[in-house]
Amino acid sequence: MAGNKKTRKKKPSKSGKNRTALLEHKKVGSELQPGFAQLGDKMTFSSWSNERLPEMLWAAIIRVIQDQDSAIVEFRRIITFVSENSEKEKLSDLSITGISKLDEELRNEFLDFLTSNPKTASALTVLKLFKNLPAKESWLKFLPPCEPELNILMAAVGMCLPHQSQQATDCRWLKLMLMVVGGKFQAPREMVEPWINYPYEGDQRRIRPSIRSCEMAINPIVEQDLTWSNDFWAEAWENTPCLELIPESDTNSEERCCDLDDIHKLRGELKTHWGKTHTTTGVDAKHDGVFGTAFYALSILSEIVSVGVSTGILARLGLRTILEIHIGLRYLIQKNDDQLWTKWRTYGAGQAKLNALKFDELIDPPKFINTETLESIAGEDLWEEFINIELGSWSGSDLRKLSDKAGLKSSYDQFYSWSSTYSHGTWGAIREVCFHTCGNPLHRLHRYPKESTLPDTLQDACVLVNEILNDLSVVYPTFSPRLLGENS
């Protein structure tokens, strides 16, 4: 029965952002595509911030020099001027480019009206800063002789740059209403009526999106020329400096969870436990594997703790490695198969053999590799002529599948994907490390080179190392010392 059919309830996002959930993406080949991306070449992109905001710059300036109510009053004054003008159809496009294309007499009439409000006129003097402002000579006739205030321009662009901001929506409403009263935009009465009393009546959660969508829809009709938009951003870049965004200080920063002394002490205790549980001088793949993994994780952690490393790139590579060995160890422990432990160990010997042969026959080794060590590892358990070289994974699964089998898929999802971008040097990692977001809104919040201090990895690394120690204690009880002040 339909009433008994179970449906998956969509979980709200922690960020509260309105975006396509991961599970709602469609898998197409190796890509996960959101709904809009699936439309492909059926869409034509139109950018408010890049293309249309510069055209409505004068409106954005009016919007930010006063509160919303006062700005709406000024916008309504302009809408009324257009609706009552005998040439209202020509005045339906009052973008900066549109103003420049008006007959000189009509252009002067509008600019005279626009600047009749002294507060508006004073703020609009920032337009003098642009040498390529369309019809600049007409603007100069009506702008007062006071000095432009760059801060007003930066505030106007900054507040209106996000296309869904209240300030941007107000400017887009003005643009749309000018088209409506000018007779250039036809829409059903039930759609237009809520716009008339904007933003004071009706459900604004529905009205604001309708304004933005309609303002965007009219642009292919009236905005073909991007000369001014391109000139605006070019001049803003050339004539104003990059500014650093200063993040708010983290008042909740915690003390470092461990230091080198803590790790050295723990390593000593682990070595003692190794001695208590060590029962043979023969090959014991399981004992060597469990303790070796823990010692290896502590070695990585001690490097992460080193000054300046935990907030850098190498710490992220170390964190990724700790996760990998944690997943591998948990899987091996769960399987509890001596042959699998031997296979895991033999795989490592085979990798040593593979590289030793390459350096012996094909290429010279790099300076950091000691070939004698490789040959020793390759043949220390069994004569290397009996050692097969496995070119795939020792487990027969990739790490994601292995994490699922080991019950650690959540840890894999938490730590692996983003840390891997640092290993591969893809754009996401390069962007986070090497570029900052410019705080100058006149630069469109672009990126500029600046070395970053990354969030500290130490606590995450300690959590994973503790998990490895938990597993070790299960197989060789009981080992209680832990990092982060824990004892379990």
Same domain, 216 and 299: no
pLDDT, residue 17, reads 60
What was the pLDDT predicted at 269?
Answer: 97
In order, the DSSP letters of 159-208 are HHSSTTSHHHHHHHHHHHHHHHHTTS----HHHHHHHHTTTTSS-HHHHH
Q: What is the pLDDT of residues 220-249, one digit of tens each?
A: 544 478 999 999 999 999 999 999 887 765
pLDDT score for 12: 66
Q: Is residue 1 scored above 50 in pLDDT?
A: no
Q: For residues 82 and 64, give the distance between their C-alpha atoms in angstroms, rounded to a whole number.
A: 22
Task: Express each pLDDT in 425-436 by its tens digit.
Answer: 999 999 999 999
144 and 176 fall within a common domain:
yes
pLDDT value at 42 more than 60: no
pLDDT in tens, 408-430: 999 999 999 999 999 999 999 99
Mean pLDDT of 49-72: 96
Q: Is residue 38 part of a domain?
A: no
Specify whether 328 is located in the same domain as 471.
yes
Instruction: Tell whether 144 and 268 lie within a shared domain.
Output: no
Tell me which of 208, 239, 270 is where a domain ends: 239
Report how many domains make up the chain.
2
Closest among 299, 270, 303 to 287, alpha carbons compared: 270
Q: For residue 244, how many other CB atoms are within 10 A of its CB?
A: 12
Query: For the stretch 92-122, what's the b/e string if a residue is b when 16 or more beta carbons lie within 10 angstroms of its beta carbon?
Result: bbbbbbbbbebeeeebebbbeebbebeebbb
Task: Indicate if 231 and 370 belong to the same structural domain.
Answer: no
Above 60 in pLDDT, residue 252? no
Percent of the chain residues topping a pLDDT of 70? 89
Which residues span the domain enclosing 295? Answer: 260-424+456-475
Q: In this structure, are 170 and 300 located in the same domain?
A: no
**Domain boundary at 207, 239, 271, which?**
239
Q: Indicate left, alpha or beta for 267 from its phi (over 0: left) and psi (-120 to 50: alpha).
A: alpha
- Domain-ending residue, one of 180, 204, 239: 239
pLDDT digits (tens, 9 = 90+) for 315-349: 999 999 999 999 999 999 999 999 999 999 999 99
In a shared domain, residues 64 and 209: yes
Q: Are residues 334 and 393 in the same domain?
A: yes
**Confidence (pLDDT) at 488:** 40
- Residue 248, domain member (yes or no): no
Q: Which two tokens stand for residue 202?
A: 């009706």
Same domain, 229 and 156: yes
Does residue 404 fall inside a structural domain? yes
* pLDDT tens digits for range 260-271: 999 999 999 999
In a domain, 334, yes or no: yes
Per-residue pLDDT at 452: 77
pLDDT tens track for 444-465? 989 999 877 889 999 999 999 9
- The pLDDT tens digits for 78-100 are 999 999 999 999 999 999 999 99
End-to-end CA distance of the chain: give it in Å, rounded.
50
Q: What is the mean pLDDT of the chain?
A: 89
Report how far apart, in Å, the C-alpha atoms of 371 and of each of 347, 357, 375, 423 are: 18, 9, 6, 25
Give the DSSP H/E element, type plus range, for residue 409: helix 409-424
Same domain, 135 and 197: yes
Whether 360 maps to a domain, the answer reads yes
| Inter-helix orientation angle 204-217/189-196, to 10° | 110
Burial (CB count <10 Å: 0-12, 13-18, 19+), residue 17: exposed
Task: Measure the CA–CA gap between 466 and 324, rounded to whole angstroms.
Answer: 14
Shared-domain flag, residues 227 and 275 = no
485 pLDDT higher than 60: no
Q: Are residues 463 and 372 in the same domain?
A: yes
The whole-model pTM stands at 0.76
What dihedral do alpha carbons 439, 172, 54, 63 form, nearest 10°?
-60
Whether 24 is covered by a domain: the verdict is no
Looking at residue 79, its pLDDT comes to 97
